[in-house]
A and B are shown apart, each in its own frame.
Chain A
Amino acid sequence: MFRTRLGVLAVSAVAFTLASCSGSDGASGDDVAVGVLHSLTGTMAISEITVRNAEMLAIEEINAAGGVLGKPIRAVVEDGASDPSTFAQKASKLIESDSVVTVFGGWTSASRKAMLPVFERTNNLLWYPVQFEGNECSANIMYSGAQPNQQALPALVWAIDQGYRNFFLVGSDYVYPRTANLILKKHIDAIGVKVAGESYVPLGGTDFSGVIAKIQQAKPDFIINTLNGDSNVAFFKQMQAAGLSPTTLPVMSFSIGEQEAQAMGTSLVEGSYAAWNYFQSLPGDANAAFIAAYKAKFGADAAITDPMVHAYLNVYAWKAAVEAADSFDPTEVRKAAVALGAFATPMGSVSFAPNQSLVQRAYIGKLKPDGQFEIISDSGKDIEPEPYDALAFPGKTCTL
């Protein structure tokens, strides 16, 4: 027993020494290490690989232009494998073994929730690029993707403006769809229209027979779809087989961008709606330049999506914040990031709010046969991010 304890002591002492040697500052060498952590395999790979590509493009561009504070960026890429616990494990590996100064990563809320304790424990900083359900506010995460009031609620308001009154909610069974739908239901009730039904399938699930039978019975006039990953293909395929293509029964999706639509075959999803803060079809020189750079590197037929642009702007926002803070220290960087003010991105000028979420516009697009979205509605002004919906989570505020 004594010997074992001694052993443990010795091991911890060695570990402690090693940790102090490598230090918390991954910028101590000739370059600065950052983590890139996405699902490169599994059900989420369809979406996350391109987000990784966008981050790598930004890193490459920054390195070509001289790096950050005179140091080139070294990206340490890890695979979260569509599995939350793998995300947590890899995040901890990136921070503690590779000594990265920050991490760009995540897609599903399950993966973010799994990584959150790691970032809080190590006081590191995660740049999260995807729209999500809100109801979370951590100083160790920069949330550039849309909060519910920047995507889901503008989409609902638009649908009601179009005259739709009876909503069916379909989602993957995890925290984002459940919370987003909770918020949507509160607003649907408050506005005085109807929820025809609500149905969930497991993440990656491909059997929609039961869901479709419920839709046929409930006879909604509009479907709000929060399915994630490969499940979308199965859903639209089986809906079409049941005679309910998006042109017959309109569908608004929150996780289908240009890339997903083209991967699943546009004939399946043509005419369906999506709500995002960015569409590839947005006008503007910055957007055209980004699209050209991405296509030059990853192929001329590559599709550009909202999370990719958020991922890309995250890297540039990090660079700007590091330079403003003149430090790689995560705490200094996040404080500098919210004080940056407006900066130019492919989606136009955006800024980080004090709650570390992005102030941005919302757009509604309708999918055309060529796999691009026609922008049919525009919030017209920048929307302040609200992590806690006033109806669903009354009394909660995000102060950092």
Chain B
Amino acid sequence: MDTSLFLNQVFNGASLASLYLLASLGLALSFGIMRVINMAHGEMLMLGGYLAYMTLLVVPGALGIVLALPVAFVGAAAMGGLIQSTVIRRLASRPLDTLLATWGVSLILQQGARDLFGAIGVEVRAPDWLAGSFAIGGLTVPSARLFIIGMAVLVLAALALLLLKSKVGLLTRAVNQDRMMASATGIDVKRVDFLVFCLGAGIAGIAGVMLALLGPVTPNVGQSYIVPAFLVVVMGGLGSIVGTTAAAVILGMFSALAQMFVDVSVAQMLLLVFVILFIQIRPQGVVTVKSRQLDA
């Protein structure tokens, strides 16, 4: 086996895993808390991409992309908040209806983007410090992909800090473990739902900025990442952040290493087969969420 190809693919796998992770963290968070599957999650990625595009129109150059990150985070979080308070909260007790309603929201957002920005994708030009690459031995490292890996690590670290060290994190974990008991102790469960959903959407917005560095931003850009994101969440063990991270790494690496031997389309098929087999052997996912809830 060729070592440099292998090394390059390991690096590509890490960058793919980072994208999968950023795309799926929000899904995992909202599922963990609300047991809600948000079909419009891909459109939060799209929104992040378009916000990056607009930020760079106002502030071009190196500063623009740095500024695009908070803009995309806040913008997508606000959209997430809107969806949560107008649609999801009102359908909280009917999971299947939420599925359909959020899918409808997803179609509306796609068409909205099409009407606003046109069916043709827009292009976000990476600043010079992100456009190049450097070589380490046989390994070629494009800066944009390194930036994506760094951003994923940063987001994950911030999220861990938030969940483990802050008051909001404590409340979130409490609601995640036992919703009714948390509610009984006086925690405002609905407020936690809202905050967590906004946070998840905001992370997806950041993922959208990352996607914009690699390809065009189109109205259906979210669609190509939403399926892998669902796979990651399912494989990770529904609602577990550690599991989601592990699954993102496994699937990213699997996909990249499979591409050494087969074409991208075959690699995608193998990825699905791999997840199906994995779920057969370990239905609870990579990480089991221990819960005292009896009716889980």
Contacts and interface: CB of A to CB of B under 8 A. Distances in A.
Contacts of A267: 125
Contacts, number: 119
B224 A205 contact: yes
Interface in B94-148: 114, 119-121, 123, 125-126, 130-133, 135, 140, 142-145
Contact of A242 (B9, B133, B216, B221): B133
B145 A45 contact: no
B107 to A, nearest CB: 12
Interface stretch (A35-43, A55-63, A300-308, A337-345): A35-43
A230 B131 contact: no
A265 B265 contact: no
B215 A230 contact: yes
Contacts of A209: 9, 12, 15-16, 145, 256, 259
Nearest to B264: A201
A210 B267 contact: yes
A206 B123 contact: no
A242 B140 contact: yes
Interface residues of B, number: 42
Interface in B179-208: none
A391 interface: no
A206 B12 contact: no
A267 B140 CA distance: 22
A264 B265 contact: no
B12 A173 contact: no
Contacts of B268: 202
A49 interface: yes
Contacts of B142: 238, 241-243
Contacts of A45: 119-120
B140 A216 contact: yes
Nearest to A50: B120
Contacts of B119: 40-42, 45-46, 49
A217 B140 CA distance: 11
Contacts of B295: none
Contacts of B145: 209, 241
B260 interface: yes
A43 B140 contact: no
B5 A217 contact: yes
Contacts of A173: 263-265
13 contacts: A41-B114, A41-B119, A41-B219, A43-B218, A205-B265, A209-B16, A210-B9, A210-B256, A217-B5, A230-B215, A237-B215, A242-B142, A263-B123
Interface of A: 40-43, 45-46, 49, 173, 199-202, 204-207, 209-211, 213-214, 216-217, 230-231, 233-234, 237-238, 240-243, 263-265, 267
